[in-house]
């Protein structure tokens, strides 16, 4: 039960939107006694302390030794070095979870570094992105009613998984379980591929001979369709690199469909086009209904 969760010391590696909101959510629920923060930039840690996100800035080693729960909220390409700094100092009791958007590469990094502590790591992905970042963007209710995908490892004890799920549930999250491979395919399909397409689409418009007029005339449909392209380029590069196999799989599949559609348009197969539009519109409307 979420109500019975008690965390003595929480350590957050990365005290921005994702890590900071996790700490604030657990603090608000009154289940955590002390929050330690780890990060590269002293001013960010100080800001997190002033905002009441953490009680104290510490080293990775101190976090590994003192914490009951560690939440790693690092860029997805930084996990290996984060784990490496923790690995030699982890206590028997500490449990680790994370907030990374990709799981295959994070689990590989964990296996490469954590050794026989691997069972103490329960990978998770909170589906709660934002254009905002940093400690000032963090808030206790970020995860309320948001989906969090937990990807238990075969080395995880049942209790360890339950403990991590209980922490996320205490933040208000809706929990789901997927295996690592399926997780990466699912997020490639519903999150990474749209970002890829929106970004390339905006680039095409920017390079169009009519670019100035295009942007001047662009309206509400353009705004919605391309909104996600504003995300952080560093974060998204890392995500594409980290989730490359699933991305390439999704891209191949989409390119085949795009070619088929282009051929239909070129040869005037308007029935194909209407059929495609109907199937797509009906599925999207159904999703809208199920969601609300």
Task: Compute the distance between CA of residue 262 and CA of residue 166 in angstroms, rounded to an integer.
Answer: 49
The answer to whether the beta carbons of residues 157 and 137 sit under 8 Å apart is no
The piece of 63-71, 104-112, 160-168, 179-187 that touches a second copy (CB under 8 A) is 179-187
> DSSP class of residue 88?
T
CB of 108 to a second copy, least distance (A): 16
Report the C-alpha gap between 195 and 249 in whole angstroms: 15
Residue with smaller CB distance to a second copy, 6 or 283: 283
Q: Which residue, 34, 16, 26, is CA-closest to 172?
A: 26
Scan residues 227-266 and list those touching a second copy (CB under 8 A).
227-234, 236-237, 240-241, 244, 247-248, 250-255, 257-259, 261-262, 265-266
CB of 259 to a second copy, least distance (A): 8
Strand segments, DSSP code E, in 18-80 are: 32-38, 56-57, 69-72
- Distance between CA atoms of residues 16 and 134, nearest Å: 4
CB nearer a second copy, residue 112 or residue 127: 127
Name the segment binding a second copy (CB under 8 A); options: 1-9, 45-53, 151-159, 192-200: 192-200
Residue closer to a second copy, measured from CB, 59 or 204: 204
Answer for the pair 69, 86: CB distance below 8 angstroms, yes or no. Answer: no
CB 26 within 8 A of CB 175: no
**Cβ 103 to a second copy shortest distance, Å:** 13
Residues 271-290 that bind a second copy (CB under 8 A): 273-274, 276-281, 283-285, 287-288, 290
132: contact with a second copy by CB under 8 A: no
In the bound complex, what is the minimum distance in angstroms from residue 285's beta carbon to a second copy?
5
**DSSP assignment string, 159-199:** HHHHHHHHHHHHTTPEEEE--HHHHHHHHIIIIIHHHHHHH
Residue 141, interface with a second copy (CB under 8 A)? no
For a second copy, the closer of residues 42 and 268 by Cβ is 268
Decide: is 147 part of the binding site for a second copy (CB under 8 A). Answer: yes
Q: Are 152 and 34 in contact (CB under 8 A)?
A: no
* By CB under 8 A, residue 217 contacts a second copy: yes
Site stretch for a second copy (CB under 8 A), options 9-17, 63-71, 95-103, 122-130: 122-130
Minimum CB distance to a second copy, residue 120 (Å): 26
Dihedral angle of Cα 62, 65, 66, 72, to the nearest 10 degrees: 70
Burial class (CB in 10 A: 0-12, 13-18, 19+), 76: buried
CB-nearer residue toward a second copy: 43 or 288: 288
Question: Minimum distance from CB of 254 to a second copy (Å)?
Answer: 5
Residue 180: CB atoms within 10 Å: 18
Q: Whole-number minimum distance, CB 35 to a second copy, in Å?
A: 27
């Amino acid at each position: 039960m979420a109500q019975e969760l008690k965390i003595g010391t929480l350590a957050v590696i990365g005290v921005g939107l994702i890590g900071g909101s996790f700490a604030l959510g657990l603090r608000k629920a009154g289940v955590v006694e002390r929050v330690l923060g780890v990060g590269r930039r002293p001013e960010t840690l100080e800001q997190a302390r002033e905002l009441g996100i953490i009680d104290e800035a510490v080293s990775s080693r101190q976090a590994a030794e003192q914490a009951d729960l560690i939440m790693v909220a690092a860029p997805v390409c930084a996990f290996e070095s984060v784990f490496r700094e923790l690995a030699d100092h982890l206590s028997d009791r500490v449990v680790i979870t994370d907030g990374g958007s990709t799981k295959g590469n994070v689990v590989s990094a964990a296996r490469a570094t954590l050794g026989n502590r691997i069972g103490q790591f329960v990978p998770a992905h909170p589906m709660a992105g934002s254009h905002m970042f940093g400690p000032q963007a963090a808030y206790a209710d970020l995860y309320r009613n948001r989906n969090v995908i937990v990807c238990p490892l075969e080395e995880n004890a049942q209790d360890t998984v339950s403990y991590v799920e209980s922490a996320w549930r205490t933040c208000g999250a809706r929990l789901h379980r997927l295996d690592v491979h399926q997780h990466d395919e699912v997020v490639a399909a519903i999150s990474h591929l749209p970002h890829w397409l929106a970004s390339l689409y905006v680039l095409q418009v920017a390079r169009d001979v009519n670019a100035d007029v295009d942007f001047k005339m662009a309206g509400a449909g353009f705004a919605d369709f391309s909104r996600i392209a504003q995300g952080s380029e560093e974060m998204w590069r890392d995500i594409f690199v980290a989730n490359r196999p699933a991305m390439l799989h999704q891209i191949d599949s989409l390119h085949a469909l795009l070619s088929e559609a282009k051929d239909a348009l070129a040869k005037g197969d308007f029935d194909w086009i209407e059929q495609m539009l109907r199937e797509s519109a009906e599925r999207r409307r159904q999703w809208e209904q199920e969601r609300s």
